[in-house]
Structure 1
């Protein structure tokens, strides 16, 4: 007979970003904060998706959502950047490549 586990099994059912993924996301976040584009963020870890949401101001809807959906790994790619209107801006299997759509916001023409 197996001993009962000290934690409920549903803790393992949540999707989360690992340390490497968070380092990539927070690196971009830091650059965008330094550029004055972003001010706040929030994270959600749910059963099917992990979400990193970025905000211009704390009390508004997110500008962008960076999502990880492992169930889409074999099809469209598990990472996506979604705009505030719900439109998927970029989807793929490599997080750095997907985040490049947001990096372009840092490049501004010089007058």
Structure 2
């Protein structure tokens, strides 16, 4: 399984059909090493929170959400604080998630159009 998977994709085990989001070396259900990926599409915001005390290089405030996609749920940064519980979201354009010596870039969740 590769670490270079686009953030709008999740994993599906080729042995047992279990699905998960975060990169792992093996299926968390059966331990198989082979997996395919699939596009997440649109998710639904289950809950939001805003972090005001963030580590150096992370924006303040930093809105986050728990989002349910088909078969998987995940936690991700929101593009802005206007996104609410129940909103439909997708992954947006790349943004700087953390500044510093080794900046981390990735997409934030945006309201689905």
Q: TM-score range by the shorter chain?
A: under 0.3
TM-score by length of 1: 0.24
TM-score by length of 2: 0.24
> Hey, which of these two has a bigger chunk of strand by percent?
2
> Hey, which of these two has a bigger chunk of helix by percent?
1
